[in-house]
Amino acid sequence: MTGILSYGAYIPKTRLPLSVIGGRPPKEGGPEKAVAWNDEDAITLGATAGIHCLEGIDRSRVDMLLFASTTLPFQEKQAAALVARVLDLGRNVQTADHTGSTRAGTSALRTAFDAVNAGSARCVLVIASDARLAAPKSGLEANFGDGAAAFLVGEGDVIATLDDFAALTDEVTDIWRPAAHEYTHSWETRFVIQESYTPNMSGAIAAHLKKTDSSISDYDQVAFYAPDARSHEGIAKAAKVSGAALVSPLFGRLGDAGAAFAPLQLVSMLENAKPGQRLLLGNFGNGADATSFRITDQISKLDARRGVEWNLSRRRVIPSYDDYIKAKGLAASEWEAGTNPGLSATILFRERDDDLSLLGQKCRACSAIQFPAQRICETCFAKDDFDKIRLSDRIGKVVTYTFDYFFPTPNPPTVVTIIDIEGARIHLQVVEIEPEQMKIGQEVEFVFRKIHESGGRPNYYWKGIPRPE
Amino acid sequence: MANKNAIRDQVSIVGVGCCQFGENWSQSPSDMIVDAAYEAYADAGIDKPQEQIDAVFTGSIYSNKGPHECADALKLFNKPVSFATNYCATGTDLIRLGVMSIAAGLYDTVLVVGYDKPKDRGVSGPSVVVDRVRDLPQTPAGWFSLAAATYFEKYGASREDLAKIAIKNHANGCLAPKSFLKRKITEEDYFNARIISWPFGLYDSAAQTDGAAACVLTRTDRVGEYKGDPVKVKGVTVRSGPNPQKDPSNDFLSWKPTAWARDDVYEMAGITNAPKEVGLAQVHDCFSLTELLTYEDLGFCEKGSAKEHIADGHFELTGDLPVNTDGGLKTFGHPTGATGVRMIYENVLQLRGNAGERQVPNLDGKFAVSHNIGGHPTACGIAVLGKD
């Protein structure tokens, strides 16, 4: 039976309190949104959700990767291929991007089930990720949040099966972002809600119930996309969803995560699910869809996952709107971003194993592990006699550190360390740590991040974060 | 097998020159090269350089013009002119190349010119390179400060100890006519300054300046042909090292290339008891902690004991082993290719007894050591001079 084998989520640790957008100080317990920081985008959020989903799972099982996002950093150049390299999934994995609509996440998930059922893939990693930008101080800005969810779909020890799926399509210019525009736009909110969101979302749920001959009360958990909290309430009331079954849309904690919104709702449901439960998930964007799932006994056997609650418990509150504007690159600066051609694509190509997959090498002669790839062993001088070894999923320890105030960054200092990882040493920036927390021996895990935008395009590498408890 | 005796006393320095170091806005690299070389010519009594100089070794980090920049400035044509770089050890390596060429019997008299012109770039600090995604940030303060957390934790040193080094070098620089910074600082100044890369603040870091320095080397058996009071080259070496950022065995308590170069050059020079036999030293204080580690790595004191020696004033002008008698990189700044040659200039003046207000007394029979370390750091150069 085809089903979900595993799941994971990633929500950036940074929170922008809505009060700060309004020019007021942060208030503990007040509404906030999760924001991708200056070294994060849809690729890095999605890659991290993928890593969380694959924790403890043999990555060689994965033979297809679908990446869903409306904020792909490249309009041409595939995100799924990049993320497959980051996850070290090998060259034989099939890859595709799903984009253009906040429904991209559920349509990718549906495609994964179809691919496995049709026999064209055995094990599909689906990642939905979004980091949408709204114009500063606009209404959309307060509602948007950033995040990513990932699911592994295949056969075997599935934790949830897909019961059924219903979809409506609709052509309406309600929420859109033309190519080359930085900000997502919206037509008048009342129009969007009355003529697009409400009829489509209600319609898809109704179509699904009719198709499956079920009623809303048959579902133990019900979750669906909404552009704002009030519209969410409206649908819940109209569809008669009970308070016990209704899953929180997380406005005020996370925000509308676009293509990742409904997938993150599914993660929320899975982390609270009991065997035998039925789940209903609605999604919206140029139409709407509704998917139902049934939880298996296997759910209790899956190791704890980094899901929505785990992510939401990690917070770093941004005290000023200026910091946010600087991190998003929206502040004026003396020098325009260079029109240089960027990093040498030839070098990036040659160093994919080091920079994207964080593969070290293990000397067959003396077993010493080293990074990056080099032809002569740093320890015993043996030549060209190494096995590749993935370091990205291992825990490193800080050998030494400094706080660099000279390197240009929106929020100095840059925390720089030498990390010992299985005997290899890596010069690594560490983020999401306060200088006073840093100590020799600090354990870190690796996170894939944007390093800079030389050449006007994102360039990625790894950083460390303190190992979460 | 390296012949450790091939160099000692074979080559002497008969002329030294150093331009005014500083923010030389109105001077080109060529202008500074001419200042330094003609001072060295005058010191040596060379009045027909086109006839008297057999070969030239020149080097810089920032220049992309190669050997022609120096050859053209000095109009030294139809000669072997070579350009070399070796990170911050470039100056010492240029001396080494010149010494080797004479010791090999190729030339009688050689000119060495180190220079750099970082102030033409429009930024106050070193260049921040962003041509890769790995190994960022690339800032020298970031590289050299990585030994601080480890050293402080193991030996109980702190910024208080680094402050004393900065205060000493600022005071010495006030006595050196050609230094850039001529201002004494206090501990309060030190602690009020902004941080560059912890624990390094403004006063832990070498200034950025333009400069050039030169020296004339000749066969020791022909020093009588020159006017300058000769100083012998006792030994000179460079050593490569692994990048500490990926070296699996780096302890971040010392820099390996310094210890390796020390063993080599002390054997060349016949130094067996450095604290007693070395009379003064110019060491690479790109950052205050680099100077501290070098006290130990050059064997001037035991590993871990630098802070007691600092507290005793051991390395001050009036101490037993004065270090950076002209104020070092701290007050001269660090025009990379020039620095090692500028240190030779200071050691020659000191050994001749011509260092004026900053003259170290009782140098008879003593060695003068100069030391550069550069890269991540990945290279070290050391030269040992002696009068006898």
A414 or B123, which is more confident? A414
Could you tell me if B356 and B325 are in contact, meaning their C-beta atoms sit under 8 angstroms apart?
Answer: no
Instruction: Give the A-side interface with B, CB within 8 Å.
Output: 343-344, 347-348, 351, 354-355, 368, 370-372, 378-379, 399-408, 413-414, 416, 418, 423-427, 429, 435, 440, 451-452, 454, 459-461
Instruction: Report, as an integer, the average pLDDT of A329-353.
Output: 80
Backbone angles phi, psi at A80, to 5 degrees: -60, -35
Residue A339 pLDDT: 63
**From the CA of A375, how many Å to the nearest CA of chain B?**
14
CA pair distance A7, A2, nearest whole angstrom: 15
Residue A334 pLDDT: 63
CA pair distance B250, B147, nearest whole angstrom: 10
CA pair distance B295, B306, nearest whole angstrom: 7
Q: Is the pLDDT score of B287 beyond 60?
A: yes
Q: What ranges in A144-197 are assigned the alpha helix state H?
A: 189-191
Using CB atoms, which residue from A425, A440, A460 is nearest to B248? A425
Using CB atoms, which residue from B130, B134, B247 is nearest to A425? B247
Using CB atoms, which residue from A354, A402, A406 is nearest to B134? A354
Output DSSP code: residue B97. H
Q: Do B142 and A372 touch (CB under 8 A)?
A: no
Could you tell me if A416 and A464 are in contact, meaning their C-beta atoms sit under 8 angstroms apart?
Answer: no
Could you tell me if A135 and A150 are in contact, meaning their C-beta atoms sit under 8 angstroms apart?
Answer: no
Could you tell me if A418 and A399 are in contact, meaning their C-beta atoms sit under 8 angstroms apart?
Answer: yes
Residue A258 backbone zone (phi > 0: left; psi -120 to 50: alpha; other: beta):
left
- Average pLDDT over chain B reads 96
Looking at the DSSP bridge assignments, the partners of residue B82 are B57
Could you tell me if A144 and A258 are in contact, meaning their C-beta atoms sit under 8 angstroms apart?
Answer: yes
Residue B277 pLDDT: 98
CA pair distance A184, A180, nearest whole angstrom: 11
Q: Do A402 and B252 touch (CB under 8 A)?
A: no
Strand duo B200-201 + B195-197: pairing: antiparallel
Burial class for A188, CB neighbours closer than 10 Å (0-12, 13-18, 19+): exposed
**From the CA of B84, how many Å to the nearest CA of chain A?**
26
Q: What is the pLDDT of residues A302-339, one digit of tens each?
A: 999 999 999 999 999 999 999 999 999 888 766 555 56
- Angle among Cα A130, A433, A342 to the nearest 5 degrees reads 55
CA pair distance A361, A375, nearest whole angstrom: 10
CA pair distance B208, B127, nearest whole angstrom: 11
State what percent of residues in chain B have pLDDT above 90. 94
Q: What is the pLDDT of residues A20-39, one digit of tens each?
A: 999 999 998 999 999 999 99
Q: What is the dihedral of CA A21, A23, A26, A32, to 10 degrees?
A: -10
Q: Is the pLDDT score of A396 beyond 90?
A: yes
Residue A336 pLDDT: 57
Where in chain B does DSSP place strands (E)?
11-18, 55-59, 81-83, 109-116, 195-197, 200-201, 211-219, 231-240, 278-282, 367-374, 379-386
Using CB atoms, which residue from A378, A399, A405 is nearest to B197? A405
Burial class for A381, CB neighbours closer than 10 Å (0-12, 13-18, 19+): exposed
Q: Residues of B with catalytic annotation?
A: 88, 334
**From the CA of B147, how many Å to the nearest CA of chain A?**
7
Q: Is the pLDDT score of A380 beyond 90?
A: yes
- Tokens 């800032």 belong to residue: B139
Q: What is the pLDDT of residues B335-371, one digit of tens each?
A: 999 999 999 999 999 999 999 999 999 999 999 999 9
Tokens of A59: 């990555």
- Average pLDDT over chain A reads 95
Q: What is the pLDDT of residues B41-59, one digit of tens each?
A: 999 999 999 999 999 999 9
CA pair distance B344, B366, nearest whole angstrom: 15
- Angle among Cα B334, B340, B346 to the nearest 5 degrees reads 95
Backbone angles phi, psi at B245, to 5 degrees: -75, -20
Instruction: Report, as an integer, the average pLDDT of A185-212.
Output: 96
Least confident of A340-349, A357-366, B304-313: A340-349
Instruction: Report, as an integer, the average pLDDT of B214-238.
Output: 98
Amino acid at A69: S
Residue A411 pLDDT: 84
Q: Is the peptide bond before A249 cis (omega within 30 degrees of 0)?
A: no
Per-residue burial over B262-282, b = 16 or more CB atoms within 10 Å of its CB, e = otherwise: bebbbbbbbbeebeebbbbbb
Per-residue burial over A326-359, b = 16 or more CB atoms within 10 Å of its CB, e = otherwise: bbbeeeeeeeeeeeeebbeeeebeebebbbbbbb
pTM of the model: 0.94
**From the CA of A121, how many Å to the nearest CA of chain B?**
34
**From the CA of B378, how many Å to the nearest CA of chain A?**
14
CA pair distance B388, B374, nearest whole angstrom: 30
Instruction: Report, as an integer, the average pLDDT of B188-204.
Output: 97
Residue A268 pLDDT: 98
| Radius of gyration of the CA atoms of chain A, in A | 22
CA pair distance B360, A322, nearest whole angstrom: 55
Using CB atoms, which residue from A354, A355, A406 is nearest to B197? A406
Residue B1 pLDDT: 67
Residue A333 pLDDT: 67
Instruction: Report, as an integer, the average pLDDT of A161-181.
Output: 95
State the number of CA atoms in the 13 A half-sphere of A3 facing the CB: 19
Strand duo A459-466 + B200-201: pairing: unpaired
Q: What ranges in A15-103 are assigned the alpha helix state H?
A: 18-21, 42-53, 79-86
Q: Do B245 and A408 touch (CB under 8 A)?
A: no
Chain B residues in contact with A451 (beta carbon < 8 A) = 133, 136
CA pair distance A185, A178, nearest whole angstrom: 9
Q: Which residue in B198, B200, B255 has the most chain A C-beta atoms within 10 A of its own C-beta, making it the best mutation to test that interface?
A: B198
Q: What is the pLDDT of residues B297-332, one digit of tens each?
A: 999 999 999 999 999 999 999 999 999 999 999 999
CA pair distance A450, A131, nearest whole angstrom: 13
Position B137 confidence tier, pLDDT thresholds 50, 70, 90:
confident
CA pair distance B48, B208, nearest whole angstrom: 34
Q: Do A427 and B245 touch (CB under 8 A)?
A: yes
Strand duo A386-390 + A359-363: pairing: antiparallel
- Tokens 């950025």 belong to residue: B208
- Angle among Cα B19, B23, B28 to the nearest 5 degrees reads 65
